[in-house]
């Protein structure tokens, strides 16, 4: 994600989309530079710092973005309404947890197979089907709830159905962005998508709360179902000739295994996914930590819990918008973001007052979003288009699957040693994983750590050892 050209900027990788026509210029003799494991995630067009909303200049992406604005608000409304409905039907927090687990279970079980399908299929027709399926599910719940016939098993079935649709919808939406904007604007578009989602996270729950108390839970489901009209209309209004054509994988045997081998043979992919997995599994267990801090540490109740989540969402939104201004997504930015994220969590764990803890939620959200956006965009741009669905499905399975694995661990540490120890442990594991992966990549790329000053500011980076030996020889 760092953007400025200079001696420390690694060369852009060869992307697999159709390259632009070469410009005519006077040839200059250039010293070949050895490629390192540091991952730039942009074409030469994207190495310059872009404006914060540059990808919105693309008409097809504007339609996609506008549809997602409406749909994401509806999705957050349904999440709140769904949990409230289950709690009101059963009076059991365990039942709420079962509903959430059923919604994420299909991604854990079938996520990789969904990636195989996405690589074979055209993205726009696929999204029309998956978005329609999720709309019908929401309307199904609305009808049952408004008619007074809803039972908890209906909600379980609906949650599992949404999870099944997400298995294909998630990697299809992630990879369709590259067809909308091309490689040069992908970093910006991915960041704006994250900002879109975080904005909806601020608006959706508030609207859901007003709607539930004012007219009832069923109308929140109905509003979500109708919200899918916006993305569906946007998909239908897009101009096919303006899409960036990418290679699709032909139907064949062994494609799932082929995708795993593809990732295993590329350190820039496998280590990015591993780091994202560590951060999501051990660092993103905020439902466990924040509720315990609100009730058990500061004894402040539900209001403070809501404040913590709101400030974290604000920080995440700021992190996504800042990421949108960067032209590239580099491995060093991912590692630095993960180290900062883990460090801030450890600092928050020892915060003596509620207000200091609350203020730390904003930078934690910002650095967490930096990890998310950088990993997402770098994986997409360093993956061949015909493999992108499978690789993104693996990434999303690891990233989203971290919560069901990490939450029980976080809960056990919190119960046994206290919530401060739990949050500190999560931050320490995230930061340690980032440092360990940085050292591994430095060893693989024959790099060394360089600490110095640039324009009065400290600069920490990895540089090739060959450059030192060449300078000494000269």
DSSP string, 391-452: HHHHHHHHHHHHHHHHHHHHHHHHHHH-HHHHHHHHHHHHHHHHHHHHHHHHHHTTEEEEEE
pLDDT at residue 38, rounded to an integer: 43
Please state, for a pLDDT cut of 90, what percent of the chain lies above it.
29
Rounded distance between C-alpha atoms, residue 104 and residue 130, angstroms: 16
Does the pLDDT value for residue 450 go beyond 70?
no
Q: Which of the residue ranges 166-180, 230-244, 253-267 would you say has the lowest mean pLDDT?
A: 253-267
Q: Give mean pLDDT, residues 38-62.
A: 64
Does the pLDDT value for residue 250 go beyond 80?
no
| Beta bridge pairs of residue 449 | 462
Name the pLDDT band for 252 (thresholds 50, 70, 90): low
Q: Give mean pLDDT, residues 42-67.
A: 73
Place of tokens 């960067």: 326
Q: Give mean pLDDT, residues 340-365.
A: 94
Does the pLDDT value for residue 339 go beyond 90?
yes
Q: Which of the residue ranges 236-240, 391-395, 404-408, 421-425 would you say has the lowest mean pLDDT?
A: 404-408
Q: Which of the residue ranges 202-206, 314-318, 436-440, 446-450 would you say has the lowest mean pLDDT?
A: 446-450
Tokens of 374: 């950088």
Rounded distance between C-alpha atoms, residue 72 and residue 313, angstroms: 14
Find the radius of gyration of the CA atoms of the chain: 23
Name the pLDDT band for 82 (thresholds 50, 70, 90): confident
Residue 399: closest CA among 234, 290, 279, 300: 279
pLDDT at residue 145, rounded to an integer: 93
The residue with greater pLDDT, 155 or 214, is 155
pLDDT at residue 448, rounded to an integer: 60
DSSP secondary structure string for all residues of 24-93: P------------S----S-GGGGSPPPTTGGGGSHHHHHHHHHHHHHHHHHHHHHHHHHHHHHHHH--H
Burial per residue of 211-237, b for 16 or more beta-carbon CB atoms within 10 angstroms, e otherwise: bbeeeebbbbbbbbbebbebbbebbee
Rounded distance between C-alpha atoms, residue 366 and residue 159, angstroms: 30
**Mean pLDDT highest for which of 83-87, 213-217, 224-228?**
224-228
Name the pLDDT band for 341 (thresholds 50, 70, 90): very high
Tokens of 311: 């400030």
Q: Which of the residue ranges 10-14, 30-34, 332-336 would you say has the lowest mean pLDDT?
A: 10-14
Does the pLDDT value for residue 225 go beyond 90?
yes
At 118-142, the pLDDT tens digits run 888 889 999 999 999 999 999 999 9
Please state, for a pLDDT cut of 70, what percent of the chain lies above it.
80
Q: Give mean pLDDT, residues 69-77.
A: 90
Q: Give mean pLDDT, residues 435-440.
A: 89
At 168-198, the pLDDT tens digits run 998 899 889 888 988 888 878 888 888 888 7
pLDDT at residue 247, rounded to an integer: 67
The mean pLDDT value of the chain amounts to: 79
Q: Give mean pLDDT, residues 396-415.
A: 79
pLDDT at residue 329, rounded to an integer: 60
At 83-99, the pLDDT tens digits run 888 878 887 766 776 78
pLDDT at residue 3, rounded to an integer: 38
Burial per residue of 100-111, b for 16 or more beta-carbon CB atoms within 10 angstroms, e otherwise: bbbbbbbbbebb
């Amino acid at each position: 994600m760092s953007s400025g050209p200079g001696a420390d900027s690694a060369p852009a990788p060869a992307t697999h989309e159709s390259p632009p026509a070469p410009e005519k210029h006077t040839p200059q003799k250039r010293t070949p530079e050895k490629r390192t494991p540091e991952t730039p995630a942009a074409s030469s067009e994207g190495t310059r710092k872009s404006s914060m909303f540059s990808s919105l200049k693309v008409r097809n992406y504007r339609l996609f973005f506008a549809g997602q604005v409406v749909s994401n608000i509806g999705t957050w409304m349904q999440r709140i309404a769904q949990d409230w409905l289950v709690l009101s039907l059963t009076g059991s927090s365990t039942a709420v947890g079962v509903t959430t687990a059923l919604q994420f279970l299909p991604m854990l079980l079938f996520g990789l197979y969904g990636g195989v399908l996405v690589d074979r299929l055209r993205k726009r027709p696929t999204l029309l089907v998956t978005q329609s399926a999720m709309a019908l599910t929401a309307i199904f719940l609305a009808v049952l709830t408004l008619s007074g016939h809803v039972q908890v098993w209906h909600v379980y079935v609906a949650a599992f159905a949404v999870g099944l649709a997400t298995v294909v919808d998630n990697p299809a939406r992630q990879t369709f962005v590259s067809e909308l904007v091309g490689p040069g604007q992908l970093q910006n578009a991915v960041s704006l998508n994250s900002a879109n989602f975080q904005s909806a996270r601020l608006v959706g729950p508030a609207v859901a709360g007003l709607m539930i108390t004012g007219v009832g839970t069923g109308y929140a489901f109905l509003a979500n179902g109708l919200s899918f009209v916006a993305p569906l209309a946007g998909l239908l209004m897009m101009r096919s000739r303006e899409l960036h054509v990418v290679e699709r994988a032909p139907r064949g045997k062994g494609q799932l295994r082929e995708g795993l081998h593809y990732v295993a043979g590329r350190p820039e992919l496998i280590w990015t996914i591993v780091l994202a997995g560590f951060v999501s599994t051990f660092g993103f267990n905020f439902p466990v930590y924040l509720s315990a801090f609100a009730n058990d540490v500061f004894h402040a109740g539900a209001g403070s819990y809501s404040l913590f989540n709101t400030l974290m969402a604000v920080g995440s939104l700021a992190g996504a918008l800042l990421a949108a201004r960067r032209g590239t997504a580099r491995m060093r930015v991912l590692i630095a973001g993960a180290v900062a994220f883990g460090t801030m969590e450890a600092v928050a764990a020892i915060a003596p007052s509620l207000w200091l803890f609350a203020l730390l939620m904003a930078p934690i959200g910002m650095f967490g979003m930096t990890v998310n956006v950088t990993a997402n965009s770098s994986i997409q741009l360093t993956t061949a288009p015909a493999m992108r669905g499978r690789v993104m499905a693996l990434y999303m399975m690891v990233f989203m699957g971290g919560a069901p694995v990490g939450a029980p661990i976080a809960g056990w540490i919190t119960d046994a040693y206290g919530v401060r120890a739990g949050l500190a442990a999560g931050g320490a594991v995230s930061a340690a994983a980032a440092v360990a992966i940085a050292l591994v990549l430095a060893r693989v790329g024959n790099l060394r750590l360089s600490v110095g000053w640039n324009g009065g500011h400290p600069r920490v980076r990895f540089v090739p050892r060959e450059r030192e030996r060449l300078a000494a020889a000269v």
